């Protein structure tokens, strides 16, 4: 299904440096990549190793390099590993190119759509137009979305300071725009004590808490959970890009079952973590109870999980939020 090279394919648009002849293979690349992808220590959330976004961004950059060199088959294989690392477990190309209902419960729909677009360009190349330019744009968007660059852009003047100076500046006064934005600032367990105290002191003013790309593990998130769940006005909580695992979902779900905790939360972003790829129904239903008039919970299949539910679920997807996310990542 479009796996063969065609005239005008990316192979013909490879960079001048990619001269024809025997390819220089990198057998150690695949081994190291797969070893890191299945690193049990990292999945245990014990704090060892780097957050998974480092590995995923590296895979995207390597994929783009392969496409530029015309190594489409290898790029397709690497894309398969990236899909599996992001929880898109199926190895069937059809399942990736077409939006089956089984994929509607992914935590991160923006990454999902970008991966689908990459699969189309790699496996079903179109001879007309600037295919390589489109691929580069997709990889740039995916890199931007999976990495903390966008978070540092928001901090502007704080970006050049040391992490401790950034944390001190954020916690110095009242939260601007009712948002506590710590995204992109590496946090330690000791830092979390300061964050908890700040949330308890300014809790009445906090609508949103951004903790993406801060290096949080399960234990660190549990350390913050009492302070976060007690915020009376909190509506959105971002925990993306960390080292969180599925084990944390049990504690979050139990907290959401209590109406007195997270009383006004409408969404918790858990994308781009270790192995949190879908959310349990009790978790989602608890969010729906807190915002019954909000139709932006993309992973709730309103009429069940059967074949006929796909279209119903698709109609309930957050088209506005999704498009805004695409526009955000497209600004790179």
User: Out of 150-154, 246-250, 262-266, which region has the weakest mean confidence (pLDDT)?
Assistant: 150-154
Taking only the tens place, the pLDDT of each residue in 191-215 is 999 999 999 999 999 999 999 999 9
E-strand stretches of the chain: 179-181, 208-210, 236-238, 267-269
CB-CB contact of 169 with 161 (8 Å): yes
Q: Is the pLDDT of residue 103 over 60?
A: no
- Choose the most confident range, by mean pLDDT, from 83-97, 188-202, 299-313: 188-202
Q: Which residue has the higher pLDDT, 205 or 25?
A: 205
Q: What element of type H or E holds 286? A: helix 281-290
Give the pLDDT of residue 278: 84
Contact 261, 231 (CB under 8 A): no
Contact 170, 183 (CB under 8 A): no
pTM over 0.75: no
- At 204 the pLDDT is 95
The DSSP string of 223-283 is HHHHHHHT-SS--EEE-TTS---THHHHHHHHHHHSTTSSTT--EEE-TTSSS--B--HHH
283-295 average pLDDT score: 80
Strand partners for 209: 180, 237
Domains observed in the chain: 50-147 (no CATH), 150-290 (3.80.10.10)
- Quote the CA–CA distance of 180 and 133 in Å, as a whole number: 37
Q: What is the pLDDT at residue 109?
A: 81
Question: pLDDT by residue (tens digit) across 142-197?
Answer: 999 999 865 544 554 555 568 888 899 999 989 999 999 999 999 999 999 999 99
- Among residues 145, 188, 144, which one has the least CA distance to residue 167? 188
Q: How many CB atoms lie within 10 A of CB 83?
A: 21
Note the pLDDT of residue 291.
79
pLDDT band at 90 (very low <50, low <70, confident <90, very high): low
β-bridge partners, 181: 210
pLDDT for residue 67 is more than 70: yes
Tell me which of 35-44, 238-247, 290-299 is least confident.
Answer: 35-44
CA distances from 304 to 89, 276, 329 (A): 21, 21, 32
């Amino acid at each position: 299904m479009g796996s063969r090279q065609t005239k005008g394919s990316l192979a013909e648009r490879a960079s001048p440096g990619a001269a024809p002849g025997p390819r220089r293979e990198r057998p150690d690349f695949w081994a190291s990549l797969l070893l890191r992808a299945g690193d049990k220590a990292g999945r245990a959330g014990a704090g060892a190793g780097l957050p998974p976004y480092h590995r995923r961004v590296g895979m995207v950059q390597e994929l783009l390099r392969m496409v530029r060199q015309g190594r489409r088959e290898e790029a397709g294989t690497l894309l398969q590993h990236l899909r599996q690392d992001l929880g898109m477990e199926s190895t069937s190309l059809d399942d990736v190119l077409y939006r089956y209902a089984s994929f509607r419960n992914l935590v991160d729909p923006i990454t999902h759509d970008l991966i689908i677009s990459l699969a189309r360009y790699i496996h079903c190349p179109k001879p007309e137009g600037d295919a390589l330019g489109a691929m580069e744009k997709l990889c740039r968007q995916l890199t931007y979305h999976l990495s903390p660059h966008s978070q540092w852009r928001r901090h502007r003047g704080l970006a050049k300071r040391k992490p401790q100076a950034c944390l001190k500046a954020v916690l110095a006064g009242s939260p601007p725009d009712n948002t506590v934005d710590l995204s992109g600032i590496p946090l330690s367990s000791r830092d979390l004590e300061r964050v908890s105290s700040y949330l308890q002191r300014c809790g009445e003013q906090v609508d949103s808490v951004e903790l993406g790309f801060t290096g949080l593990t399960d234990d660190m998130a549990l350390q913050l959970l009492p302070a976060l769940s007690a915020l009376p006005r909190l509506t959105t909580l971002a925990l993306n890009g960390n080292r969180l695992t599925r084990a944390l979902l049990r504690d979050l779900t139990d907290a959401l079952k209590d109406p007195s905790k997270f009383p006004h939360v409408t969404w918790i972003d858990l994308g781009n973590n270790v192995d949190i790829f879908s959310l349990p129904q009790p978790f989602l239903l608890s969010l729906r109870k807190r915002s019954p008039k909000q139709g932006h919970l993309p992973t709730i299949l309103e009429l069940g999980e059967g074949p006929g539910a796909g279209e119903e679920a698709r109609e309930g997807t957050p088209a506005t939020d999704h498009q805004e996310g695409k526009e955000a990542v497209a600004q790179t």
